[in-house]
């Protein structure tokens, strides 16, 4: 038992429930449920975190009324058919010593999609539009309010009957309860609007109904955003007053930041790596100074030492470490055992966790693709026949393949032609606000070390070397290189450089720059910020609907705000046509009109990548088992490379 975290692994009592440590997996959508009920995939996902040492697991939002279906894959607790799934979940998590709470939820006007493509009628306190989803809701009548209040109570009762330890009333992120509390959204003139107490009436009625339905032993907590980070949103002073006023009806309060109602506020639902760690903790401390009930907090608490500091300093009683356990389900048990170097640290890229949710796909992690796929990859087994495996390429895909293959008992050697592991991740970490991306290299290198991979740097591999060493399996992960579109008419007098050259500081870039961004991802926006911050006049010409079209929403929106503040000119629907000494020629991708940008010193190409596939193609007729993964097959992202590395290592 480690003494490194003397406070984090002490028990805490919340209401009638004792929790073994101060580590919380907060409620978060997984897109694993398929019919609104808890299924085996969700149970396996949450059980991995319980097995890994989490003290408390709060299950994702569950709708309390038919109008709460804000997405096509939401959990529902509005019917008794939900009980068996929750009961099975509770039993499995309790078996690992974890406690489990259910989030009870109504989004109000925050409806992002429907089950059949038609827009549903959203219910809210008033006819106050949602800016983000462009929804104008129906103002709830008193009978509609009573119906939803009863829905919360019945949902809590079902959770109790299923053996769930508590329920968390979701008043965070601008959802229905926050809409009642917010005087800029709640425009009512009856008992539910106007003054502070009237705006709290919905809360009080729900809490009283839950207690009447479920009794005093079911833990009742509330999650709420202290600062919604939006001009029309709630602020810390008003929220603190509300928490103090409601304390006598609650067993705990769980604080966070942000709102779903605006693009800027929504960034804080799952804050990207550019946001500082534990940034909500000061508000949690302000709450804790005013109330006697336990205070929980989340918001970029990524490492156990951060959580220890927050709890030990008295800022909060428990820490939400959700993405930390998406990335490493065993984070808690590793920290408790003092194995901190073995923790696979989250890099807050948002790509496969919340990024998958926004695309309607099940949750995962670019570093740990086993997440969300526990039914397939939940238990690593030894290979039936031990093989010699040569991995060519030390980027994230090759590293993952090597680590998994070696962990299964194979003899694995990884060859990297350069003197450093990491591949394109080494470039990604050089983009502004992306420093933590380099953590993927550190984490995968540690996985290889633990598995016993023989790593050989500055080791180029040819077919002759493969023939001489005669491995059973060759995994080719040779990556990609910058692509220059062959159709582009780039004159000899044009100053044209690529993204890699800029990031490596290998070229001089003039003061007037055009970035031709074909992929509409992190690279183009990151280069634009980098060059604008160095004093360049930057125009970002995007071959897409908007800058960052392929990026996770919250990362994109934060980057867009930054580029606007820096004065970067963003030009969508732009195809690169050519360039000469001082002019870049573009073409509108929908209308095909010509666009000329004059007075340009440098054209920066961010046109995607092409496969480095020479070795893979050369081995096509080789007698060994040949497996290609990552960009050498087709240029994509680190997520695909690492997942293909997992599959390659797993399949041997």
Q: What's the CATH number where 506 sits?
A: 3.50.50.60
Q: For residue 324, what pLDDT band results from cuts at 50, 70 and 90? A: very high
Residues 417 and 558 in one domain: no
pLDDT of residue 477: 98
Tens digit of each residue's pLDDT (9 = 90 or more) over 43-67: 999 999 999 999 999 999 999 999 9
The band of 133, judged by pLDDT with boundaries at 50, 70 and 90, is very high
Decide if 1 is inside a domain: no
Q: What is the pLDDT, as a whole number, of residue 113?
A: 86
Same-domain pairing of 617 and 600:
no
- Per-residue confidence band for 114, with pLDDT thresholds at 50, 70 and 90: confident
Compute the average pLDDT of residues 506-513.
97
Q: Are residues 447 and 520 in the same domain?
A: no
pLDDT-derived band at 116 (thresholds 50, 70, 90) equals confident
404 and 324 housed in the same domain: no
The answer to the question of residue 143 being in a domain is yes
For the chain, the domain total comes to 3
**Are residues 431 and 522 in contact, defined by beta-carbon separation less than 8 angstroms?**
yes
Is 146 among the domain residues?
yes
Residue 6 lies in a domain: no
Q: Does the residue 406 lie in any domain? A: yes
**Cα dihedral 547, 551, 556, 562 sign:** negative
Same domain? For 514 and 473 the reply is no
Q: What is the pLDDT of residues 583-630, one digit of tens each?
A: 999 999 999 899 999 999 999 999 999 999 999 999 999 999 999 999
- pLDDT of residue 393 exceeding 70, the answer is yes
Q: Is there a contact between 210 and 153 (Cβ–Cβ < 8 Å)?
A: yes
What are the φ/ψ torsions at residue 11 (nearest 5 degrees)?
A: -70, 160
Residue 553 belongs to domain spanning: 489-607
Among residues 589, 607, 625, which one ends one of the domains?
607
The predicted pLDDT at position 536 comes to 98
User: Would you say residue 1 has pLDDT above 80?
Assistant: no
Q: Please, how many CA atoms are within 13 Å of residue 91, restricted to the half-sphere of its CB?
A: 10
Q: Quote the radius of gyration of the chain (alpha carbons, Å).
A: 26
Residues 589 and 628 in one domain: no
What's the sign of the alpha-carbon dihedral 117, 121, 125, 131? positive
Task: With CA atoms as reference, report the closest residue to 383 among 362, 403, 405.
Answer: 405
292 and 432 inside one domain = no
Q: What is the pTM of this model?
A: 0.96
Query: Does pLDDT of 573 surpass 70?
Result: yes
The Cβ of residue 118 has, within 10 Å, a number of other Cβ atoms equal to 6
Assign residue 396 the CATH number of its domain.
3.40.50.720
pLDDT digits (tens, 9 = 90+) for 191-215: 999 999 999 999 999 999 999 999 9
Kindly state the average pLDDT of the residues 255-265. Answer: 97
- 641 and 571: one domain? no
Q: Please give the pLDDT value at position 227.
A: 98
Q: Is residue 351 part of a domain?
A: yes
Indicate the residue among 376, 411, 434 that finishes a domain: 376
Digit-coded pLDDT (tens) for 73-101: 899 999 999 999 999 999 999 999 999 99
Report pLDDT for 2: 55
| Residue 515 · residue 528 · CB < 8 Å | yes
Mean pLDDT computed over every residue of the chain: 97
Token readout for 207 is 């809490």
CA distance 342 to 191: 55
If asked whether residues 344 and 319 sit together in one domain, one would say yes
User: Domain containing 288 — which CATH number?
Assistant: 3.20.20.70
Report the first-to-last Cα separation within the chain, whole angstroms. Answer: 36
641 & 532 share domain: no
pLDDT digits (tens, 9 = 90+) for 155-164: 999 999 999 9
Residue 329 in 3-state DSSP? coil
CB of 32 closer than 8 Å to CB of 363: yes
Which residue, 353, 376, 399, sits at the end of a domain?
376
Q: Do 463 and 590 have their domain in common?
A: no
35 located within any domain: yes
pLDDT score of 521 more than 90: yes
Domain contains 4:
no
Helix axes 396-407, 439-451, angle to 10 degrees: 20
Domain shared by 290 and 313, yes or no = yes
């Amino acid at each position: 038992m480690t003494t490194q975290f003397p406070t984090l692994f002490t028990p805490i009592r919340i209401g009638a429930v004792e929790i073994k440590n101060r580590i919380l997996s907060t409620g978060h959508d997984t897109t694993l449920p398929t019919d609104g009920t808890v299924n085996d995939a969700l149970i396996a996902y949450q059980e991995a975190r319980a097995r890994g040492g989490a003290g408390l697991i709060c299950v994702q939002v569950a709708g309390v009324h038919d109008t709460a279906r804000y997405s096509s894959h939401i959990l529902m607790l509005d019917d008794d058919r939900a009980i068996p799934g929750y009961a099975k979940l509770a039993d499995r998590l309790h078996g690992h010593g974890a406690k489990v709470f259910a989030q009870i939820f109504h989004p109000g006007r925050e409806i992002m999609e429907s089950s059949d493509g038609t827009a549903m009628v959203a219910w809210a306190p008033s006819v106050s539009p949602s800016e983000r989803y462009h929804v104008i809701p129906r103002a709830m009548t008193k009978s509609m309010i009573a119906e939803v209040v009863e829905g919360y109570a019945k949902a809590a009762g079902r959770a109790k009957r299923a053996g769930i330890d508590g329920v968390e009333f979701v008043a965070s992120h601008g959802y229905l309860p926050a809409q009642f509390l917010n005087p800029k959204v709640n425009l009512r003139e009856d008992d539910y609007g106007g003054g502070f107490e009237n705006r709290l009436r919905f809360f009080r009625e729900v809490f009283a109904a839950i207690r009447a339905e479920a009794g005093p032993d079911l833990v009742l907590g509330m999650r709420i955003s202290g600062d919604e980070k939006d001009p029309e949103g709630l602020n810390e002073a008003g929220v603190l007053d509300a928490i103090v006023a409601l304390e006598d009806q609650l067993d705990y309060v769980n604080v966070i930041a942000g709102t779903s109602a605006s693009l800027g506020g929504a960034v804080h639902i799952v804050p990207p790596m550019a946001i500082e760690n534990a940034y909500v903790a000061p508000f949690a401390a302000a709450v804790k100074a005013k109330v006697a009930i336990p205070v929980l907090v989340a918001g970029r608490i990524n490492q156990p030492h951060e959580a220890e500091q927050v709890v030990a300093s008295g800022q909060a009683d428990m820490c939400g470490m959700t993405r930390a356990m998406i990335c490493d389900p065993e984070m808690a048990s590793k920290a408790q055992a003092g194995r901190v170097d073995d923790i696979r640290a989250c890099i807050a890229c948002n790509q496969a966790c919340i990024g998958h949710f926004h695309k309607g796909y099940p949750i995962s992690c670019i570093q740990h693709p086993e997440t969300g796929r526990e039914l397939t990859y939940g238990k690593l087994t030894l290979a039936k026949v031990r093989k010699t495996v040569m991995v060519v390429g030390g980027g994230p895909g090759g590293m993952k393949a090597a680590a998994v293959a070696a962990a299964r008992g194979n003899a694995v050697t990884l060859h990297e032609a350069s003197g450093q592991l990491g591949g394109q991740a080494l470039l990604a970490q050089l983009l502004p606000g992306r420093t933590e991306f380099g953590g993927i290299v550190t984490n995968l290198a540690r996985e290889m070390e633990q598995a016993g991979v023989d790593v050989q740097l500055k080791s180029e591999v040819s077919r002759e070397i493969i023939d001489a060493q005669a491995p059973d399996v060759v995994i080719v992960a040779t990556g990609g290189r910058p692509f220059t579109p062959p159709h582009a008419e780039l004159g000899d007098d044009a100053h044209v450089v690529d993204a890699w050259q800029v990031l490596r500081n290998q070229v001089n870039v003039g003061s007037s720059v055009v970035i031709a961004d074909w992929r509409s991802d992190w690279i183009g926006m990151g280069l634009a910020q980098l060059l604008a911050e160095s004093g360049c006049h930057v125009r970002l010409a995007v071959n897409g609907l908007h800058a960052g079209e392929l990026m996770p929403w919250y990362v994109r929106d934060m980057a867009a705000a930054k580029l606007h503040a820096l004065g970067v000119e963003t030009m969508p629907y732009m195809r690169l046509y050519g360039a000469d000494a001082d002019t870049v020629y573009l073409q509108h991708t929908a209308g095909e009109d010509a666009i000329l940008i004059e007075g340009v010193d440098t054209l920066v190409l961010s046109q995607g990548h092409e496969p480095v596939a020479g070795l893979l193609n050369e081995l096509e007729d080789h007698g060994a088992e040949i497996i290609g993964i990552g960009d050498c097959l087709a240029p994509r992202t680190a997520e695909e490379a690492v997942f293909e590395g997992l599959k390659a290592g797993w399949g041997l």
